[in-house]
Amino acid sequence: MARLKLKRFRVKPPAPEVLAHYVRVYDPRELYHHPDSVLPITSESLFGNDHPLVLDLGCGRGEFLVAQAEDHRDLNFLGFDWHVKSLWAATQAAHQAELDNVRLIQVDFRLALPAMPAGSACEVFMLFPQPVFQHNRTSEDPLLESTLRQVQRVLAPEGWFHFVTDHAEYFEIKRALIEQSGLFTVSNESQAYEGGITWFQRFWETRQIESRRLACRKV
């Protein structure tokens, strides 16, 4: 089945004060060249408290993030995405649910992770990333070994990394990468994803394409 055309959906831009509350924009050049000079990406700086921080890498329209934030008010939820309209939709959802434990960052998460302190997140999710296979496009792959190492670094001891995809071949490639890295123990694997419904999960599963899931614990 052809991959989805992500950018084709309608969403109104949120009011400026709502955007200002929920969304931070990071300059990729600043992040790359001067990661120490940007506003630190921590619970303290983004939420003004020290609650444990959960990351959603490529949060899209934020269905998972917002549902989890409603269920776990004692945790902070931070979504990363570079697609502006998806972040608008996530912002509207968080605002409608009157959530103050959600923030969103418009950025390439591969650049943002190195700017986070080690051990600053309790859990990291990467749900239904676009798989990349072509050799001339590997730099676009959302989960190269360098990003996997950053995920492991930002996780607190024994923190969890959840990787879910609809794509069988991509799943096997990333499972091999994660297992061979020695950075995680893969302690759980299931075909059906029980952790919350994302837009892409619903799309694939209603077409009888199952979700493949890895739950990986930081060594």
Ligand X SMILES: C[S@@+](CC[C@H](N)C(=O)[O-])C[C@H]1O[C@@H](n2cnc3c(N)ncnc32)[C@H](O)[C@@H]1O
The answer to whether residue 92 forms part of the interface with ligand X (CB under 6 A) is no
Q: Could you please report the per-residue DSSP string of 108-139?
A: -HHHHGGGSPTT-EEEEEEESPPP---GGGGG
CB of 110 to ligand X, least distance (A): 5
Rg of the chain in Å (alpha carbons): 16
The answer to whether residue 91 forms part of the interface with ligand X (CB under 6 A) is no
The answer to whether residue 170 forms part of the interface with ligand X (CB under 6 A) is no
Distance CA(173)–CA(200), nearest Å, equals: 20
Size of the site for ligand X (CB under 6 A): 21
Instruction: Determine the interface stretch with ligand X among 29-37, 57-65, 183-191, 204-212 (rule: CB under 6 A).
Output: 57-65
The answer to whether residue 47 forms part of the interface with ligand X (CB under 6 A) is no
CB-based contact 81:104 (threshold 8 Å): yes
Q: How many beta carbons lie within 10 A of that of residue 165, not counting itself?
A: 26
133-152 core/surface letters (b: 16 or more CB in 10 A; e: else): eeeeeeeebbbbeebbebbb
CB of 119 to ligand X, least distance (A): 22
CB of 179 to ligand X, least distance (A): 23
The answer to whether residue 86 forms part of the interface with ligand X (CB under 6 A) is yes
Residues at the site binding ligand X, with contacts judged by CB under 6 A: 6, 58-60, 80-83, 86, 108-110, 127-130, 142, 198-201
